[in-house]
Amino acid sequence: MGKHYIPKKYLRGFAADEAGRAIWMFDKVLRDWKRAAIDKVAQKREYFDTPTEDALSTLIENPAHGALDRLLATNQVHDADRELLSRYISVMLRRVPASRRRSMELVEPSVRNVVERYREVMKAEAAEDESVSHLLPEKLAHLDILEARYVDSPTPEVKANVLSPWPSSRIFAAVESMTWRIVKAPQGFDYLTSDNPAYFFPGLGIGSAESEITFPISSKLVLLASWQGEPGATLYFSGTKRLVHEVNRRIASGTERFVFSSVKAGWIARLCLKPNHYLSRIRWDSIAT
């Protein structure tokens, strides 16, 4: 069995059966549905090494899953649980396949930027010192070889950073300091989750004044974090149809491949396959409690 990049315990909040063993999964690539065992989804072989898997379980998942249980039972975040949930969400931002893909996409431009700076330095040195100018073509050719090598095969340090599920202290501090809103779905509506359940607007990150994090807790609860309101506060809302739709659009938009749901429905498939999603910020000052 592979290593889970989304914890099984988390996915049970979206289970398709009362026992919490099965879940509906829509595959964006194959464009089909599967009612799958939660134990078998959201995993890949050797996704984490064993020490990392053990550390995630001991330090992050086990403590936070107790906090999630209390949240699901009472619809409220206990004061002592905020730090546990902040760490859980912060790790969720890093541990998923989407985060690894984004990190790898940054490797090539970073390497090319560094190499280009070296090219300019070499050219400047050759222009200033004619005694070494004849060496410039050979040096530039060697630099080209190094550039191709490091783009195709990043250093072990770069690979380790890409594969790491551990967020920076800055990310954790931002998540914990945001204003949290726990929003219950109205009757007849459900939240989705995915293989990338902690959604944020890519262009905004999580540290800017307009940043938001959308993290479905279950098919009936979502945690919406932003900088609108008192830092560190937790507020509680009854959701609207419009808000549920916005949450689900965000989740579908950020999905790498798999969407998970407690139900199978045509609208979910249509939403997931939509090429462009119209997303908007939630203006809490215009929403009544």
Q: DSSP characters for 109-120?
A: HHHHHHHHHHHH
pLDDT on residue 52: 95
Q: Give the integer Cα–Cα distance in Å for 169 and 234.
A: 21
Q: What pLDDT does 289 receive?
A: 44
**pTM, full prediction:** 0.86
CB atoms within 10 A of CB 135: 13
- Look at residue 215 and give its three-state secondary structure: strand
All residue ranges of the chain with pLDDT < 50 are 289
Q: What is the DSSP letter of 46?
A: T
What's the per-residue H, E or C state across 118-131? HHHHHHHHHHHCHH
What does the pLDDT read at residue 45? 92
Written as one letter, the residue type at 195 is D
Task: Report domain extents, the chain.
Answer: 12-41+178-289, 100-162
CB atoms within 10 A of CB 132: 12
